[in-house]
Amino acid sequence: MRRPRWLGPYRVLTRLASGGMAEIFRGVRTTADGAQVPVAVKCILPVHTADPEFVDMLSDEARITASLDHPNVARVYEFGEADETYFLAMELVDGVDLRSVVRRCRERGEALPWVHALYVIEQALSGLHAAHELDIVHRDFTPSNILVSVTGDVKLIDFGIAKAEHNRSQTRSGVIKGKVKYMSPEQTEGKRLERRSDVFSAGVVLYECLVGRPPFLAPEDPLLMEAIREAHPDPVSASHPELPSALDAILARALDKDPAARFQTAEAFAAELRGVRLVAASGFEPSELGALVARVFDAERREREALLSEFDLQVGIDDLTPTGERREYTRLVSAGVFPDADKDDVDALRDALDAWLATRRAETGTHETSLSGGADSTGSSTSGDDPAGQTLEMDALSDDTGTGTGTGAGGGRR
- Decide which of 296, 323, 357 is a domain's last residue: 296
| Contact between residue 273 and residue 121 where contact means Cβ atoms under 8 Å apart | yes
> Do 309 and 212 belong together in one domain?
no
> Do 50 and 195 belong together in one domain?
no
Cα distance between residue 158 and residue 161, in whole Å: 8
Structural domain that includes position 146: 97-296
Stated as kind and residue range, the H or E segment containing 101 is helix 98-107
Does some domain include residue 219?
yes
Asked about 140 being catalytic, the answer comes back as: yes
Residue 55 sits at φ, ψ, to 5 deg, of: -65, -40
> Do 55 and 102 belong together in one domain?
no
Stated as kind and residue range, the H or E segment containing 116 is helix 114-132
> Do 149 and 253 belong together in one domain?
yes
Does some domain include residue 412?
no
Does some domain include residue 408?
no
> Do 375 and 249 belong together in one domain?
no
Does some domain include residue 117?
yes
> Do 273 and 324 belong together in one domain?
no
Q: What is the CATH number of the domain that holds 156?
A: 1.10.510.10
Does some domain include residue 28?
yes
Does some domain include residue 380?
yes
> Do 279 and 311 belong together in one domain?
no
Q: What integer pLDDT is reported at residue 167 of this predicted model?
A: 47
Q: What is the CATH number of the domain that holds 324?
A: 3.30.200.20
Q: In total, how many domains does the chain have?
A: 2
**In terms of Cα–Cα distance, which of 79, 3, 8, 4 is closest to 385?**
8
Q: What integer pLDDT is reported at residue 140 of this predicted model?
A: 92
Does some domain include residue 411?
no
From 140, 158, 198, 256, active-site residue? 140
Q: What integer pLDDT is reported at residue 388 of this predicted model?
A: 34
Q: Count how many Cα atoms sit within 13 Å of the Cα of residue 389 in the half-sphere of its side chain.
A: 3
Residue 168 sits at φ, ψ, to 5 deg, of: -90, -35
pLDDT in tens, the chain (414 residues): 788 888 888 989 988 887 777 788 999 998 878 788 999 998 888 788 777 777 777 777 777 777 788 999 998 888 888 877 888 899 999 999 999 999 999 999 999 999 999 999 999 999 999 999 999 999 999 999 999 999 999 999 987 666 644 444 444 444 444 589 999 999 999 999 999 999 999 999 999 999 999 999 999 999 999 999 999 999 999 999 999 999 999 999 999 999 999 999 999 999 999 999 999 999 999 999 999 999 999 999 999 888 888 887 775 554 544 433 445 677 766 766 775 554 444 444 445 555 655 665 566 555 433 333 333 333 333 433 333 322 232 233 334 433 444 453 333 333
Residue 398 sits at φ, ψ, to 5 deg, of: -85, 130
Q: What integer pLDDT is reported at residue 92 of this predicted model?
A: 94
> Do 125 and 172 belong together in one domain?
yes
CA dist list (Å): 300 to 186, 312, 313, 352, 384: 40, 21, 22, 43, 33
Does some domain include residue 75?
yes
pTM of the model: 0.79
Q: What integer pLDDT is reported at residue 376 of this predicted model?
A: 34
CA gyration radius, the chain: 22
> Do 364 and 288 belong together in one domain?
no
- Decide which of 296, 312, 347 is a domain's last residue: 296
- Decide which of 242, 264, 296 is a domain's last residue: 296
> Do 32 and 177 belong together in one domain?
no
> Do 101 and 154 belong together in one domain?
yes
Tell me if residue 36 falls in helix, strand or coil.
strand
> Do 87 and 104 belong together in one domain?
no
